[in-house]
């Protein structure tokens, strides 16, 4: 069985893997995403290369200064590239890849990015306090209230260079504040996601009145994915049993996060009392065990998520062209959820024959 260690911060259990997983008994049900694991490497790698290649402008126009609160023009190319990234990564996870941009949402996101930029700090709690908005922003109360609402419904990022960059960084979802929770990723990998809105405002160094001294007003990305009118469902496509990140099959090593997630109906409160019922293993193709800590994340929108955190030394074991296998065993319910992914980088693969 796995060794359980208490988490002194969150008062929850962590799991540390045993050196080698035990064989799966024949009467256990194996839960896997075979259709994802069987995808060809060359096909996924080509799509990845064709998706992660944007280097165009993220806006046009003159940004605001210390005396103005003017909007810039969003870049359609940036938005298209960001949407392409989202749909590619959702396809990797086995989810629908036809998410579209909602123009009304994007207008609201762009205006919200301007307001947060002028405040000078991206709020970690997604709350815009109107009293902090400078008096140079005279767009009116309705404009401000729309920004307040949009911020509460959106992913927010500081000091990225484009919507394109923010999109994949939201799904990476790094940082101690996001560890285990990874709410940005979970909102973008919802099975029923159909539309998003996005806006970006660039960084500006505003003069202070003192020579060579400036206030840096941050670049801001606002990405809305929450639809208040959408049906609340976690129904998966018929060809997958769970949503994992990293996903099964070929997976780009540049997108490998430190917190891995598995959303599965068997992990919700109705079907699983606590993490003690699970034996969890991560192993490399040569049998090397990869250490991690585990936690059930049952908050926000997806209430059935198992989160696995790998520290930097553990991530170093996950190398280009190595296959990593994750196995979650529930002896009480006699099932084994497992999947493997092959990490690939940007180098060309060379096949050789040895005689």
**Statement: residue 271 has pLDDT above 80:** yes
Is there a contact between 30 and 338 (Cβ–Cβ < 8 Å)?
Answer: yes
Q: Which residues pair with 15 in a beta bridge?
A: 4
Whole-model pTM?
0.90
Whole-angstrom distance, CA of residue 246 vs CA of residue 258: 10
Distance from chain centroid for Cα 26: 35
Does position 221 have pLDDT exceeding 50, yes or no? yes
* Residue 119 clears pLDDT 60, i.e. is over it: yes
- Residues 224-256 pLDDT 10s: 999 988 776 678 999 999 999 999 999 999 999
Average pLDDT, the chain: 90
Given this model, what pLDDT does residue 300 score? Answer: 62
- What is residue 305's DSSP assignment? E
Q: How far apart are the first and last CA of the chain?
A: 44
pLDDT digits (tens, 9 = 90+) for 169-209: 999 999 888 889 899 999 999 999 999 999 999 999 988 77
pLDDT for the residue numbered 354: 54
Interacting residues of 246 by C-beta distance below 8 A, sequence separation 6+:
255, 256, 257, 260, 324, 341
What is the secondary structure of 138-157 as a DSSP string? -S-HHHHHHHHHHHHTEEEE
């Amino acid at each position: 069985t796995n060794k359980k260690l208490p988490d002194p911060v969150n008062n929850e259990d962590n799991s540390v893997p045993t050196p080698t997983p035990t064989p799966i008994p024949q009467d256990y049900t194996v839960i896997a995403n075979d259709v994802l694991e069987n995808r060809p490497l060359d096909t996924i790698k080509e799509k990845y290369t064709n998706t992660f290649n944007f280097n165009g402008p993220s806006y046009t126009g003159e940004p605001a200064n210390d005396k103005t609160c003017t909007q810039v023009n969003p870049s359609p190319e940036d938005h298209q590239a960001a949407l392409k990234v989202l749909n590619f990564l959702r396809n990797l996870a086995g989810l629908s890849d036809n998410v579209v941009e909602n123009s009304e949402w994007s207008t609201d996101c762009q205006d919200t990015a301007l307001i947060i930029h002028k405040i000078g700090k991206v709020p970690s709690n997604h709350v815009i306090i109107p009293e902090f908005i400078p008096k140079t922003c005279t767009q009116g109360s309705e404009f401000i209230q729309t920004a307040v609402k949009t911020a509460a419904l959106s992913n927010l990022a500081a000091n990225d260079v484009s919507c394109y960059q923010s999109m994949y960084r939201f799904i990476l979802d790094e940082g101690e504040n996001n560890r285990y929770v990874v709410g940005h990723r979970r909102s973008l990998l919802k099975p029923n996601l159909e539309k998003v809105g996005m806006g970006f405002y660039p960084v500006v160094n505003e003069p202070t009145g003192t020579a060579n001294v400036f206030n840096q007003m941050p670049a801001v990305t606002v990405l809305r994915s929450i639809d208040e009118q959408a049906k609340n469902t976690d129904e998966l496509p018929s060809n997958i049993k769970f949503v994992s990140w990293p996903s099964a099959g070929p997976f780009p090593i540049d997108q490998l996060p430190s917190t891995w997630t598995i959303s599965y109906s068997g992990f919700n409160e109705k079907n699983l009392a606590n993490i003690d019922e699970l034996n969890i293993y991560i192993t490399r193709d040569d049998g090397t065990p990869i250490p991690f800590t585990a936690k059930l994340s049952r908050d926000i929108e997806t209430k059935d998520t198992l989160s696995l955190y790998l520290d930097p030394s553990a991530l170093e074991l996950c190398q280009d062209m190595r296959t990593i296998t994750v196995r979650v065993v529930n002896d009480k319910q006699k099932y084994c959820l497992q999947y493997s992914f092959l990490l690939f980088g940007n180098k060309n693969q060379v096949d050789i024959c040895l005689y």
